[in-house]
Structure 1
């Protein structure tokens, strides 16, 4: 028995004063209306209506039940209206999950631009470093392609980047610049830890020969599960780290970082916007995903106008 439908039919029978009138109002067969009310009475174990050929009236139990039922169905109707409204207006709270580097360097700026267009939205950002982020608990999550992906997730690619080696000019001026991958063993390396395991050997390769890899076992001066912390340490001159090329390009163009071992990369990163389901997505979420995709495209296009391809420009000071 569909209890909710039976409740609504019972209420309609009382309001219309008969089964036939309620059936016409609800566009149901009279026999279906009669059956639904009878099923409800059988479920409750009481008679709700007194029926005669000419008259229909509520029993005492029917009066008590209808009084409570009307408020319940009214609140339920209000809730349905509110939920439908949530999916048709750009307003309300938007909960977003992201790793710190994505939150700091992309999400924050995108959120500011989106709020300028849609001031009725409130954005709640949670920063979590995890290979298995709790995507289902949020309206939207920004994750890397190394995270666990449920087959039901809806994914929108934002940025595809290469991991490159980089260091601050002050560090390279003090310790010199490695001329080949093996020379990294003599430098201070800042390594990213994924999960609880410490970083393994550093693998480097050239994009034109991805199967010819150099594996380097070297101690790390700093290990962190937070890529943004490693970036800050690199900028402070702590050592050499692997960073997404699109992330460090503005810093290289400003002279704050230099690429090390040009032509070698340490892998790829794809940043994605992920929704747990395609069902019942509020308009604010759909609008923000669209804005984020456009924002990331403008971010990449803007950087692309400043150098040719993913290779970082040489921004070392000119020799005197």
Structure 2
């Protein structure tokens, strides 16, 4: 029975990974060994499970039925493993985390020191990348994302809100003047993200009122990294629009000051900062501990 369960797990991995070679890399065995596992399963079941070519695989009708059962068993096994971690004496193991580059640098990384101090049996592996990773495909336990909503099939816990702010250096404002209303931004040098939906048209509303305006600004520099935008602004290069978490340290030290403080920005300059994970009946204790730690950490808008 145990051998059959092993063959079923290997077969499910082949299907999930889309091939024998990818499954072998995932399982840490050779490609011929993977092929032998699948062959033994086919022999025990008495039918072909896969149509195989040199470049791809496809499930047979029998294979589709077998895969559904195998995937269910493997999923249950994952939950049992997670359950063991949930009820262990302490969080332990490796937590693989993904986060956007700047958010990871200025907010996530500083939170890890105290987490690791209080969880000595946990190791954290962080990948900073400005794209949405596939949690299952890339074997990520926890993704920190900035989004208004999450994809179906995932679970999340909100860590904070993302608020964009306009900032400029005192030197720049002394030379060019401090805008007192959104329309005045058209006369200034502006530095924005400038990719995808982040164009040169800004939607603003005055805090505590129904006043809304739409302004087109001159984008003298477009940089797809808010830390780089902040560097330009600190050097006196214009007025930058960046997340508050990026600007907070510079605002505290006075290297930059906030412009048009009473105005807030609409989409796409809004969103929630969320801890996203694969749902299940049981969440591994190591992952839950990190989520709980980040949820009470400071530095983000409530």
Same fold, judged at TM 0.5 (above):
yes
Greater shift in the superposed pair: 174-183 or 105-114: 174-183
Give the direction of change, closer, same or farther, for the CA distance of 1:44–1:128 in structure 2 (3 Å limit).
closer
Secondary structure class of the residue paired with 2:106: helix
Once residues 248 and 204 of structure 1 are traced to their aligned partners in structure 2, the CA distance between those partners, rounded to angstroms, is: 19
What does residue 286 of structure 2 align with? Answer: 284
**1:128: how far off?**
1.6
What does residue 226 of structure 1 align with? Answer: 225
Q: Is the 8 A contact 1:242 1:266 kept in 2?
A: no
**1:202: how far off?**
1.5
Give the direction of change, closer, same or farther, for the CA distance of 1:135–1:188 in structure 2 (3 Å limit).
farther
Secondary structure class of the residue paired with 2:236: coil
Q: Where do 1:1-320 residues align within 5 Å? A: 4=4, 43=44, 86=85, 88=88, 89-130=90-131, 132-136=132-136, 137=138, 138-146=140-148, 149-195=150-196, 199-210=199-210, 212-245=211-244, 247-267=246-266, 268-296=270-298, 299=299
- Unaligned 5+ segments in structure 1 are 8-39, 46-78, 302-309, 311-320
Q: Is the 8 A contact 2:203 2:215 kept in 1?
A: yes
Once residues 173 and 151 of structure 1 are traced to their aligned partners in structure 2, the CA distance between those partners, rounded to angstroms, is: 49
**1:235: how far off?**
2.4
Per-residue deviation, residues 254-305 of structure 1 (Å, max 9, x unmatched): 2121111221112333211111223453211110000111113xx359xxxx
**1:225: how far off?**
2.4
**1:166: how far off?**
1.1
Give the direction of change, closer, same or farther, for the CA distance of 1:83–1:140 in structure 2 (3 Å limit).
closer
Secondary structure class of the residue paired with 1:152: coil
Once residues 256 and 243 of structure 1 are traced to their aligned partners in structure 2, the CA distance between those partners, rounded to angstroms, is: 15
CA RMSD of aligned residues (A): 3.4
Q: Is the 8 A contact 1:129 1:226 kept in 2?
A: no
**1:221: how far off?**
1.7
Once residues 94 and 181 of structure 1 are traced to their aligned partners in structure 2, the CA distance between those partners, rounded to angstroms, is: 44
Q: Is the 8 A contact 2:82 2:285 kept in 1?
A: no
Give the length in aligned residue pairs: 229
**TM-score, length of structure 2 as denominator length:** 0.65
Q: Is the 8 A contact 2:190 2:218 kept in 1?
A: yes
**TM-score, length of structure 1 as denominator length:** 0.62
